[in-house]
Each structure stands twice: as structure tokens, then as C-alpha cells.
Amino acid sequence: MKVLIAVDPSDIAEKAFDWYFKNIHKEGNEVYVCHEAEQPDLPTVFFAGGASFPAAEIGRIMTDHNKKKNELENTYTMKCKSYKIKHHIDIETTQDKPGVAICKKAEKVHANMIVMGTRGMGAIRRTVLGSVSDYVLHHSKVPVLICRGQDQ
């Protein structure tokens, strides 16, 4: 079975990852760890006279974004190695919203299941802010296991 585990830098994602391994992982399962990060918001400020946002600031934003991606990849590479499992780590920057990108990634790798965490927002906050896990749950073509981030 191919299991896609969607992660981000949060403790909730790490708990969902660990919960999967402690409770349902079976030897022989192939694990795809993915993080589909939206491209960072780059300033598009233009000043009178044709000047634009300083290139150094754009470079700082991109460096910070890439550093966070590398740290996340290292964290989950080490966790997978500690569990001694066959795995693939896929930390990408995408044009899509994270929920859309996770569903696309699951189809691309032919995942049989998606595992992810949720912050446990209430119905009103989820409606206003949107929820990645809610989107994946309603749009995925495969079963989705959502681990709650807090007791409700």
C-alpha cells in the first residue's frame, strides 16, 4: 500500500506522522512524505521613478523559504530512517493551494491513503479561513485519515 503523509512544520503534522507509524503502518507499506508549500508572497511594490522593492529583501525571503523547506526535509528524512521504512520525501513549492496540491500529489504517486493532521478549527473559523484537511477530505479520490491536533 502507498501512503501519502502530508506534513508541514507544525507539531500537529509531526504527531499525525508518528500516530500513523505507531498505530497503522504495516511492513511493506511505501510512504510518501510530502509538503506542498505555497510560493512565498514576494513584494510587488513599485515606487515613483521606476524603482522597485530591493532585490536583497526578495533574496532574504527566498533564502528563508528554502531554509524552512530544507529543515522540514531533514526532519522527516531522519524520522523515516529511524522507523527503517521505504520512503520518499517530496518537499515542493507550488502555485496551487496546499489542499489542491496534496490531492494532485496523491493521484500522481498512486497513493492508496492520505494521512494528515488538523488544527481542529471550529466550523465558523474553518468556513472563513478554509482548512487544508477539510479540502483534502472532500476532494481526495482515496481515503483520508485526519489526526486531530488537540482534544475537542
Task: For the chain, give every domain's residue range.
Answer: 2-40+70-148
Q: What radius of gyration, in Å, describes the C-alpha atoms of the chain?
A: 17
Q: How far apart are CA 29 and CA 89, in angstroms?
A: 15
% the chain with pLDDT above 90: 51
**135, three cell numbers:** 479540502
Domain range 2-40+70-148, its CATH number among 3.40.640.10, 3.40.50.620, 3.40.630.10, 3.30.230.70? 3.40.50.620
The residue type found at 111 is: A
Query: Does 83 have pLDDT greater than 70?
Result: yes
Q: How far apart are CA 95 and CA 40, in angstroms?
A: 10
Please give the model's pTM, rounded to 2 decimal places.
0.81
- For the segment 39-78, what is each residue's pLDDT rounded down to a tens digit? 666 555 555 555 566 667 777 777 887 888 899 999 999 9
- For the segment 5-24, what is each residue's pLDDT rounded down to a tens digit? 999 988 999 999 999 999 99
